[in-house]
Chains A and B, each alone.
Chain A
């Protein structure tokens, strides 16, 4: 069991390192650098940046160094828990990301909770009452949920909100609270804004998990231990909740690891559509303006979240599955 834990931790570390490499490569792929993007932007605003100035800027930001040097400089910062300065914002990357990361996580976790909260009971219902009306309806809705790309859903919700309900569903705060320091009132304001994006974000995941839960549970329901449990005189509810649901939950735990990046990825794009102050729009923007340190830090953070999620789901699996705990299964 300890060996398993160590193996998993080591794996997480290696994966994290690999992510730093991949991240760095991805961000170096587009042609040009931040100064190019900056010069282009300045031009659009009617200001000339001379070639000499561009060179000076490049030097000031270390963009004239080799990729290896830049990578290791960044890695060094990362290892020390720093992430450097955002070129564009002129602030430490961590500050720029600041609240946005927490809002992203809040949104994602909210979405995951909603996903699970809806998917589990619906999945159980659908499996137990396979081919019933309810199952058919949920199955259909589930597929619709899978079929509507969430940005499209966000667009539609925006449209409906605007045209029919006369409300703007974008953003996470009312104008009055944009600026305010954190307070209970602001938190409440945030809570009021959260449901729509969370539901949009949760929809696809919910649909998917309902499918998984239903399939898993259908598998489990066919297993002999269900028959024997029933034959022992347990009530149907007890039989199902104690045995097959428990077993069907097992592979579920392993989905956490992937649910998190999936949700976070989804949050990036719906945040762009709904103008949510999460890391999504920041990431998109940093990629376009080639704000290297900002972009790579965000991707790295999301990657690490994923690794943590995977680790978490491994640990959870270990905790809930005696076969793994007792070393029967790897």
Chain B
């Protein structure tokens, strides 16, 4: 029998590698990981990917449907262009109609000039991934159309992605800290600490989530700036989200508490915190990662829901929830269905996080 490379490789695999292999087996999870990373790349480089200033309004661009890129010119050469549009409002139906004007093609170019922004919040630049040579993409480039105020949907969507994804991330981080800390204390100390924390969790979970959010979100002083509201919303979401993580952590701690190496550390006189973070947390890091990637979509849904209800972020802030709320009306359904496109990234990201989390969980603990 011939020994294959793969076989011998497995033979010497470490636990970490085994997790990776098991994870890799989940093709969906792998694809999802790529998608999630992709979305975060979009979030980081949102301003570069956006081409039109997201607040740039113009009545003459109201409700433009998504416009295609013309990849080839009349001679059949690869030469991506976009057309300027001519629009008019029908005096009888009051509908806006736009006709592309092939007489006025504009080259679609990469790394074009556009509005000014700070790359990664630091480097001032006006280079955008896509654009047109005259630096006025707002006149011709409508990949996903425009909204009522003539703002570019693609650019706004990209910036909304940044807001919503970062809310998820910040929220999960806060939940994680709370969850690990309280779940850890609960599991480590047991006794009445455990009882109290468990009761608090039970009470928090007994209150239907939406009213709880609604109450807390309504309590956010509406005079706060969008940034403050942003953090408040994140805080609120994580205040409720930590219970599940705490439950997972507690369970792990309870079983770990019995393990020899913890006892050994205790005997050696290590402090509680040191035991938690030095010894216990690493031992179930993979579970935490899986739990986090499953908690993230819940966070994102929370933000979307709250903003959708008008209790979360409000314009001029741009988030998925804000965009969705903007799209939730009859005129959108009837006149500008492309505004609903925001539902797509919401679904895709949440789906990806779920697959990813599931894959990670399976890989970390196939029988857990």
A residues with a Cβ closer than 8 A to B are 11, 14-15, 18-19, 22-23, 26-27, 29-31, 143-144, 146-149, 151-152, 155-156, 158-159, 162-163, 211, 219, 222, 258, 261-262, 264-266, 268-269, 272-273, 283-284, 287-288, 295, 298-299, 302-303, 306-307, 310
Whether B208 and A265, one on each chain, are in contact in the complex, defined by CB atoms closer than 8 angstroms, is yes
Binding site secondary structure of chain B: helix
Tell me whether B210 is interfacial, beta carbon within 8 Å: yes
Q: Which residue of B lies closest to A163 (CB)?
A: B333
Across-interface contacts of A23 in B (CB, < 8 A): 207
Complex CA–CA separation, A183 to B73 (angstroms): 68
Whether B351 and A147, one on each chain, are in contact in the complex, defined by CB atoms closer than 8 angstroms, is yes
Whether B206 and A219, one on each chain, are in contact in the complex, defined by CB atoms closer than 8 angstroms, is no
Indicate with 1 or 0, residue by residue over B311-326, a CB within 8 angstroms of chain A CB atoms: 0000000000000100
Tell me whether B308 is interfacial, beta carbon within 8 Å: yes
Across-interface contacts of A15 in B (CB, < 8 A): 199, 202-203, 206
Whether A303 and B367, one on each chain, are in contact in the complex, defined by CB atoms closer than 8 angstroms, is no
A-B contact number at CB 8 A: 126
Tell me whether B209 is interfacial, beta carbon within 8 Å: yes
Across-interface contacts of B346 in A (CB, < 8 A): 147, 149, 152
Whether B221 and A31, one on each chain, are in contact in the complex, defined by CB atoms closer than 8 angstroms, is yes
- State how many angstroms separate the Cβ of B307 from the closest Cβ of chain A: 11
Whether A283 and B221, one on each chain, are in contact in the complex, defined by CB atoms closer than 8 angstroms, is no
Given contacts A14-B199, A302-B211, A310-B202, contact A147 B305 (CB under 8 A): no
Whether B343 and A299, one on each chain, are in contact in the complex, defined by CB atoms closer than 8 angstroms, is no
Q: Which residue of A lies closest to B298 (CB)?
A: A146
Given contacts A149-B301, A149-B304, A269-B305, contact A299 B218 (CB under 8 A): no
Whether B206 and A303, one on each chain, are in contact in the complex, defined by CB atoms closer than 8 angstroms, is yes
Tell me whether B328 is interfacial, beta carbon within 8 Å: yes
Tell me whether B215 is interfacial, beta carbon within 8 Å: yes
Whether B351 and A162, one on each chain, are in contact in the complex, defined by CB atoms closer than 8 angstroms, is no
Whether A261 and B324, one on each chain, are in contact in the complex, defined by CB atoms closer than 8 angstroms, is no
Given contacts A15-B199, A143-B351, contact A29 B219 (CB under 8 A): yes
Whether A151 and B305, one on each chain, are in contact in the complex, defined by CB atoms closer than 8 angstroms, is yes
Tell me whether B65 is interfacial, beta carbon within 8 Å: no
Across-interface contacts of A26 in B (CB, < 8 A): 211-212, 215-216, 219
Given contacts A147-B347, A147-B351, contact A299 B209 (CB under 8 A): no
Whether A22 and B207, one on each chain, are in contact in the complex, defined by CB atoms closer than 8 angstroms, is yes
List 10 additional A-B contacts (Cβ < 8 Å) besides A261-B206, A302-B208, A303-B208.
A15-B199, A22-B203, A146-B297, A146-B351, A147-B297, A149-B304, A149-B350, A155-B340, A298-B211, A302-B207
Complex CA–CA separation, A302 to B328 (angstroms): 27
Whether B351 and A144, one on each chain, are in contact in the complex, defined by CB atoms closer than 8 angstroms, is yes
Given contacts A152-B324, A261-B206, A265-B208, contact A27 B309 (CB under 8 A): no
- State how many angstroms separate the Cβ of B41 from the closest Cβ of chain A: 20
Complex CA–CA separation, A299 to B213 (angstroms): 12
